[in-house]
Chain A
Amino acid sequence: MAKNNLAFSIGLIVLLPLTAMNDARACAACGDTLSKDWGSQGISTHPGFSADLSYTYINQSQPRYGSGTASPALLNSLNGAGQEIEDYTTTRTTAAAFNYTSETWGVNTLLPFLQRTHGTYGNPGYPTTATYSSSSDSGIGDISIIGRYTGFSADKSAGIIAGLKLPTGSTNANFNAGAAVGTPLDRSLQIGTGSTDLILGGFFTGTISEYGWFAQGTVQHAVATKSIAGVNYRPGDAYALNTGIRYAKFGAQFTPMLQLNYIHRAPDDIGGTPLDGGTLLYLAPGASIRLGGGTSVYSFIQLPVYQYVNGLQLSPRYTFTFGIKHSFE
């Protein structure tokens, strides 16, 4: 059992919920950056199809400024200076992923369905409800199609990733309650970004004793964007590094895992104005359980260990993901 690259690998990351808003903003980089698809590459997986259904909950309700928590006094001060104060943004993502793996390449299609609610205090008004507005929206999000190649070495311990995120999510939601009812929701709070993004990256996998590890890096860059009412929106480039370790007994029914997820998101460009962006580091403990017959369930919680956001943004105290995966013969 001494062969390298026993069982540990990953595929996709970069499910960045783009949940910012003008002025006070929900941190766009604070989303789900987990590597979920560690079974899709490497010698542990035989060729074939697999499907994955996952649910991710992100409640961005913690106002942060720079690297610290924004105090009520700071929020009052910023609101007094003309800044809108966001209250919360909750995003529930149900994602279906379909994966095909050959012996040296694979392709993964991700279809997310987003449910998002949002509340914000207008200006002036914080913390009263006189200028409070809220929205709720749901729909198919931006679909991504990502390929990978692992044919550089016989043990497939390294690979490259390339793919596209398509502008399939809607971009026309309005506030539907409160003072701003009927006015368009900010671009970064829409279900879709309106942009076509190129995703490029690479990964390495290996084993140390009975533990498997992986390291993966990706860059996501918008290559085509969409203007609405003459205002263009370009999501900032995202640079993600994920690494993780898991107990690697071959075929273990209970597999604990631990990931470290880093993401740096450059500021978005909204009509020529740079906004948002930040750098975050998450620690993500999780586990997967094999149920038999090629079916497994998994769950993770992401806990922020470092956060730096540009300006005032909302960030989550944690994100939670669980899902089920089935490999077909």
Chain B
Amino acid sequence: MKFKEIENFKDYCERIRNKKRKNIRIKICITGCRAKGALDLYNEFKKREDKEIEVIPTGCHKFCSGAPVVKVKIFSKDYIYQNVGINDIDEIIKNAKKDKPVERILVKDKKFFELQEIKVLKNCGEVNPVDIEDYIYYGGFSSFLNVIENFTPDKVIEEIAKSKLRGRGGAGFPTYKKWEIVKNQVSDEKFVICNGDEGDPGAFMDRTLLEGVPFQIIEGMLICAYTIGANKGFFYIRAEYPIAVLHMSQAIKECYKYGLLGKDILGTGFDFDVEIKKGAGAFVCGEETALIASIEGKRGMPRPRPPFPAEKGLFGKPTCINNVETFANIPIIINEGGENFSKIGTEKSGGTKIFSLAGKVKNTGLVEIPLGTPLWKIIYEIGGGPIEGRKIKGVQTGGPSGGCIPVEYFNTPTDYETLAELGSIMGSGGMIVIDDKVCAVELARYFLDFVQKESCGKCVPCRIGTKRMLEILERITKGNGEIEDIEKLEKLGSYIKETSLCGLGQTAPNPVLTTLKYFKDEYLEHIKDKKCPAGVCVELFEYVIVEGKCTGCTLCKKNCPAGAIEGEVKKAHKIVKEKCIKCGVCFNVCKFNAVERK
């Protein structure tokens, strides 16, 4: 049903919002949790629908370490269950009908949710991602209607300026400024691009938003297009996100069906078409000029700026590129008003930020918190601290462009400026917690290896400079490092930062420079003592059996492929250094933790 007038559509929205829903609504994440069998779980639950129970497929519930996660809404109370199996279905339904939770599978760590400030992700895990009616039921498209009826483009920009929203892709450029520049360009054609090429290893918030609330992003884009005067938009989504592409294309189709996209939207005379462009596996395409080249169908190589895409972008026309999360914030700003929105956050940047928390931490998942929240709160309180028996050493933010921040600086408020001062960046919001079993030098090597592979090869500092840095780091992790290497790394790093063409190269040395700054001891141990304190760099440690712990069970001896373990039953065993190939089998099979890396 295509709506040709605003009034008709508004009536329709009103009707949907007043519709009585069933008392018990069971919401199953079928996106991230799919990896843990959520699709089968959903199908089983779906069979149990009756006049009281509605089963809804949704996006992410944020608590990903408990996958599959199921939310049961009884009237307006929410119960969130973790690690739900098909065997739990009967009990969940039986108890729901008695208005009772199933205590044993409730998410125990209440802090994980209580300490968050959930705004952008509010609808994620609530609505069916591809059902437009469900989105409307939860207030969807009210911002767009408000804008198209009551706002001039200048007024939209004013609200966004008041909100202090800054680009969520990483660089933190004020959104209103970008929009204003594009709006003021005189051109027969303008474009809007949503950058969903979330290539940073360790980041998954854009994936979650694209999969969980595609309509919210379309709504943000519609408001942008209306404001800057664009009639054509593109979603650039990486090929590694098949569910995101699927949900977004279904959502776009629905919008066309309802007359919210296409020619003469809701009879207002405003035309806006969107199209999905799939990436093809190139990290550099997250850089805006490279992304534009990729949409044009060319090699995804960046070009020098200026001219900025806002002046000369896609096909040489003014183009507004924003990150997925930035667009997802727009409907909220319009609903709340820019000033209210900016009450949360810091003086320079308003609102919340979604971080993806992963690595060596108890609770992994999505964390939405006001900008400026200190790191320890995210990692220790919301994240639940280290994995049993380990010690957190630091956190890696911003992926390959970011850096490692040590525990000593966990009081730092997470903000664009403060993280930059520490030598890292906010980036798109990936946070990988590292503990004492992660080697800082090896981690730096890992990132350099990544950058090396992903460098497009256009400019020399990035192509060759990172290669030389990688070689030095490889040398150090193999025990062949020299003390001069540290200075070489520092020098090379600063040259590459200053002279590279695009963001990829300019930030590539960050992981090395920050680890050098904060974990220099580890570098020195690798170089001088030829030891890897974390027991990661194979050439720099030995497997040793601790006499007191070994029970003489012979398991390691039986499994050793090199015959390097000696010892009799019920007596402590020994590893013969000369024969050991450091495969780690003994370490993995020992039930008494008697094998150690030293």
- A-B complex is real: no
